[in-house]
Structure 1
Amino acid sequence: MPNHWQKSTSSTQDGGNSVEVIANSDGMIEIRESETPGETIVTTPKKFALWIEGVKRGEFDHFAA
């Protein structure tokens, strides 16, 4: 896993503001917005993987419309 904050290459379309993800030293997944880097959400790799599967299935598409 990368040891730096990672964002989608699509993020540049929003002027650099983006959602970023990293695996911390405990193996947990941290999620933040680049605009507010001091505020993070922490979750397990399993929960994050399940969420990604939902994204791939289009379950959250209505939030991006």
Structure 2
Amino acid sequence: MTSVLHAVWKKSRRCESGHCVEIADLAVAVGIRDSVTPQQHLIISPESFRVFVDGVKSGEFDRV
């Protein structure tokens, strides 16, 4: 697994405020963090990330 310290973190090109969600491919996992507090992060499985992204795309979280 790629170290979180050496990971390449990416954010949406649409994020202009500096308060952005960042994602890192850690080879066997996916890292997720807030750009404001990069020292705090979540590490989830690629499958869990796919399920989350599918939920976002389908509007599952629009009212949360």
User: Larger relative contact order (C-alpha < 8 A, sep ≥ 6)?
Assistant: 2
Residue 4 of structure 1 deviates from its aligned partner by 1.4
CA distance in 1, matches of 2:36, 2:57: 25
Letter in 1 for 2:25: A
Structure 2 gap ranges (5+) = 1-6
Q: What are the residue-to-residue correspondences of 1:8-23 with 2, within 5 Å?
A: 8-12=12-16, 15-23=17-25
| TM-score normalized with structure 1 length | 0.80
Aligned pair count reads: 58
Q: What are the residue-to-residue correspondences of 1:12-51 with 2, within 5 Å?
A: 12=16, 15-24=17-26, 26-51=27-52
CA distance in 1, matches of 2:43, 2:8: 15
| TM-score normalized with structure 2 length | 0.81
State the Cα RMSD in Å.
Answer: 1.3
- Percent identity, aligned pairs only, is 34
User: Stretches of 4+ moved more than 6 A in 1?
Assistant: none
Structure ranking higher in helix proportion: 1
